[in-house]
Structure 1
Amino acid sequence: MRRVAPVGGTAVQDHVALAEIELCGDLIIAASAAHEDRLSLESIDEVLRVAEERDASGG
C-alpha cells in the first residue's frame, strides 16, 4: 500500500528552508550576472546580506 500526502491545506512550511532556497537563488542570479569567473567573497557577503545581519544582531 502506498501513502500519498493529502491534497489541500495540510502542507507544512519550513520558513528556514524557504529562506535558504531564496538565498541560493539570489547567489545563482548574482553568479550568472557576474563579469568575472567567480564571485568575490565581498560580493557573496553582499548578496547574502551578511553586513545587514551583523548590524541587526549588534555584532
Structure 2
Amino acid sequence: MAYVIHDNCTACGDCKPECPTEAISAGDIYVIDPDTCIDCGMCADVCAVGAPQAE
C-alpha cells in the first residue's frame, strides 16, 4: 500500500531525495505517486512532522 503525504507537510523537501523510485513531487505540499511508491517508508523515516503515512 502506498504512502500518502498529509496536510501537515511543511514542504521542507527532506523526503524527496530519500525516495528510491522518485515517487515524490514538490508543490504546496509534497505528493506521492501511488503507482510509483513501493511502500518502503524511507520518506516517513526522515520527516520531522510525520506527514508521510501508510494508507
What TM-score results when the alignment is normalised by the length of structure 2? 0.29
Of Structure 1 and Structure 2, which has the larger fraction of its residues in strand? Answer: 2
Return the structure number with greater relative CO, CA threshold 8 A, min gap 6: 2
Of Structure 1 and Structure 2, which has the larger fraction of its residues in helix? Answer: 1
